[in-house]
Structure 1
């Protein structure tokens, strides 16, 4: 019993000291935070601000949903253009601290979107929402890889542009 408790304590200590877990996990505010190297302060967008941007829809199947789903949101390329910044990688962070790197080269017209609706309904925060990066998986075989699936971060809270 002592050995098991000691092992659990060591594992917990290692997990808490992990650099990934040491990052600040965003609160569930319904805001999407955008950070860029030359911006003095992060930009925080709420749902209304995202809906005011050009709307993009993707109809695609995913490994997480049944059948073809219509996703509505803002093209990742439009979000980056709105920032007016350049970089080579986007660090995306979910509310639970999950992070993934997305090459800026993925942010192309007819590419991934930051979705805020599925089949016309808001993406529930306790499910995959309120924001979810969706690629048009059915439009190109290149989007049907484990690497792209890993970039499809849900419960998205923060996008940080970096060199």
Structure 2
């Protein structure tokens, strides 16, 4: 049983293509309700929601979005790590995010502000897998915002390392 309807998946695909090719805003659609445990809550300046004025996702909903995989070094591991998950910009397109800042909040209440421009400029992944394995909470999961650090030397500094938040639980669009 799909967690995103065929219509929603098609709308996400079309919105992503339009955004990529012509910079258009995504068309309106409704998010399906999560069927499993909620792993991500998105609120603030969003145009699509599925729980009041908030958008909530279970892991299957995030896995239903197009997936991106890359391998990169991080300051927290001794060897390159393979990360997989949807591009953060696709998650934000699904909720029709508007604004300038993304406030990311971890399960332990750590907070960091990320400019929304980063999601357009870099292929940031909302990782739910590390080295092809689900990310347990005790390590850095279930969700981890990861920049492709090895793709651009400018990303290899404290500013971007601090924005790579693990144990992500919520996003607020400001």
Structure 1 CA distance for aligned equivalents of residues 63 and 100 of structure 2: 26
Look up the match of 1:120: 132
Note if 1:86 corresponds to 2:125.
no
Consecutive unaligned residues of structure 1, counting only runs of 5 or more, are 1-28
Higher RCO, 1 vs 2 (CA within 8 Å, ≥6 residues apart) = 1
1:131 alignment partner, one of 131, 135, 143: 143
Report the equivalent of 2:79: 67
Q: Which residue of 1 aligns with 2:3?
A: none
Establish whether residue 31 from structure 1 lines up as the match of residue 43 from structure 2: no
Q: Counterparts of 1:140 and 1:151 in 2: how far apart (Å)?
A: 15
Distance 2:150 2:46 in 1: 36
CA-based RMSD of the aligned residues comes to: 1.4
CA distance in 1: counterparts of 2:69 and 2:159, whole angstroms = 22
CA offsets, 1:19-58, max 9 Å, x none? xxxxxxxxxx651111132555211111101000010112
- Superposition misfits of 4+ residues, deviation over 4 angstroms: none
Following TM superposition, by how much is the alpha carbon of 1:108 offset from its aligned partner in structure 2, in angstroms? 2.2
Aligned to 1:52: 64
Map of 1:156 onto structure 2: 168
The secondary structure found in structure 1 opposite 2:128 is: strand
Contact 2:38 2:56 in 1 (8 A): no
Determine which structure has more spread, i.e. the larger CA radius of gyration: 1
| TM-score normalised per structure 1 | 0.78
Question: 2: distance between equivalents of 1:159 and 1:129?
Answer: 15
TM-score by length of 2: 0.73
